[in-house]
Amino acid sequence: MKTHTKYDCNLSCPVEATLQVIGGKWKGVILHHLLSETIRFNQLRRLMPEITQRMLTRQLRELEADGLISRKVYAEVPPKVEYSMTEYGKSLAEVIGTLREWGSQHLQKIAHSRVTG
């Protein structure tokens, strides 16, 4: 078994564990939207027009299975489904906020490079 050093991650690496849960193209974006409010499925689709319905469903199911979001189905026709953050999911608020902040700075840097480059 490989020993854990300052620069590598083995199977018990906390960063790897975090990225396993929130990594990928869409999970962080979904969590970002759900941090501020409860959102219906179709609202999420409108907020993320590039995601397919199948992929959104898959990502929501995985986040729900990990205990980060909750799904509430209303018994009406047509069915109404809402998603919200669980208390456990809300513990990611600072992480998601930091990612948003870094992303904003990164986008500014890219825009600046295009203008000056």
**pLDDT recorded at residue 2:** 44
Burial class (CB in 10 A: 0-12, 13-18, 19+), 107: exposed
State pLDDT tens for residues 26-74.
999 999 999 999 999 999 999 999 999 999 999 999 999 999 999 999 9
Of the candidates 108, 75, 94, the one whose C-alpha atom is nearest the C-alpha of residue 31 is 94
CA dihedral 29, 31, 36, 37 (to 10 degrees): 110
Write the CB contacts of 13 (distance below 8 Å, at least 6 apart in sequence): 4
CA gap 40, 18 in Å, rounded = 26
**pLDDT recorded at residue 11:** 60
Total-model pTM: 0.82
